[in-house]
Amino acid sequence: MTRNLDPEDLLHELGVTEPEEIDLEAIAFHCNATVRYRSLDGCEARIIGHGDHAIISIDARSSHQRQRFSIGHELGHWMRDRGTAAFVCKKADMRRRWGYRQDPESKANEFSANLLMPRFIFRPAAEGMPITFDSVFGLADRFETSNTATAIRLVGFGSYPGMVVCHGLEGRNWYTPGPDVPSVIRPHRELHHETAAFGLLFGNQDVSRSMLVDADDWIDHRDAHRYTIYEHSISVSSDTIVTLLWWKDEAQLVDLV
Ligand SMILES: [Zn+2]
C-alpha cells in the first residue's frame, strides 16, 4: 500500500461510499495496524509502530464515538510517521484544534475528522438540512460521531451559512464559523441573558428549541440589531453549552459585511 494516503483516498481504495461502511477496525487492518481495547491510565489512546506494523491501544472505558475518533487519530499518526510512530495521546490532544496548526496532534485530529466524516459522503448526507441539533443528532447517529464534532462538520459542509459556538461559565471557549461566514461576524464573548444558551448554562435543562432570535443577542456587530438569526443550543456537560447559529437568508450576512 502507498504511504501517506489521505483519508479520502483510503476510503476510495476500500470502496466506501456510505457512512455506515466506515469501519474503523477494517480500515486499521488495511493500514497494517491492529486495534486493541484495554484500560489505559493517563491517556485516551496510543500507538506503537514497529517496521510495517502498528498496535493501536484504545481506552476500553471510553464511549463508542470517542473510541472511533481515537482510532482515526492514531491512524493519522501512523500514516504520517510510519515505521517510527510512538505516540501517547491524551484527551486534550484529541481536542486540539486543526485547520491551521501543523503540530502532529492537530494533524492527527484533522485526519480523523476527514476519515470519520469525509466531505464526499458528509456533504450529500447533510444536503438541505437546517443547521440545528435535530440535523446533528441524525447525522451523528449515522456517522457514529460526537455531537460537537458533527456540528462542526455540519457548518463546514452543510447547505446554509452558520457557526458553532461553545460557552462555559467563564464565557466563550471557542467558535468555528462555516466557510461562507465573513470573519467580521463574531459571536459575543459573554452569553447574552436572553439567549437559550444562557438559560441552559444557568438552568437545569439540557436542550432548547431551535428558534429565531435577534442577531445582536449573539453577534458582535454594530448592525446586528437589524437582523435575525436561528439559534439552537444544547448542554454537553454541566458547565459547557454548544450552540448552532445559522442564517436561512444569506442576504442578511451579505448586508452585514
Ligand atoms: Zn496523538
CB 77 within 8 A of CB 30: no
pLDDT confidence band for 1 (50 / 70 / 90)? very low
Ligand 1 centre to CA of 185 (Å) is: 32
C-alpha cell at 110: 484533522
C-alpha 148 to ligand 1 mean position (Å): 19
Q: Is residue 29's pLDDT more than 60?
A: yes
From edge to edge, which strands make up the β-sheet containing 53-59? Answer: 33-38, 53-59, 45-50, 86-89
Report the pLDDT value the prediction gives residue 2, as an integer from 0 to 100.
44
Distance 196 CA to ligand 1 centre (A): 35
Mean pLDDT, the chain, as a whole number? 91
**Distance between Cα 62 and ligand 1 center (Å):** 16
In the numeric block, the cell 488495511 is attached to: 30
Instruction: State in Å: Cα 65 to ligand 1 middle.
Output: 16
Dist. CA 57 → ligand 1 center (Å): 12
Going by the DSSP 8-state scheme, the letter that residue 164 receives in this structure is E
Question: Which 3 state secondary structure label does DSSP give 243?
Answer: strand
* DSSP label of 41: S
- Mind listing the pLDDT tens digit for each residue in 33-68? 999 999 999 899 999 998 889 999 999 999 999 999
Q: Is the dihedral of CA 184, 207, 90, 118 positive or negative?
A: negative
Enter the C-alpha cell of residue 194.
436572553
Spatial distance between the Cα atoms of 104 and 238, rounded to a whole number of angstroms: 31
Distance 145 CA to ligand 1 centre (A): 18
CA 77 / ligand 1 centre spacing (Å): 7
CB 45 within 8 A of CB 58: yes
- 32 C-alpha to center of ligand 1: Å? 18
Q: How far apart are CA 163 and CA 98, in angstroms?
A: 16
Helix or strand holding residue 33 (H, E): strand 33-38
Percent of the chain with pLDDT over 90: 74
Architecture, CATH, for domain 7-116:
Orthogonal Bundle (1.10)
Distance of CA 5 from the midpoint of ligand 1 (Å): 18
Q: How far, in Å, from the CA of 4 to the mean position of ligand 1?
A: 16
Kindly list the domain boundaries of the chain, sorted by start residue.
7-116, 122-256
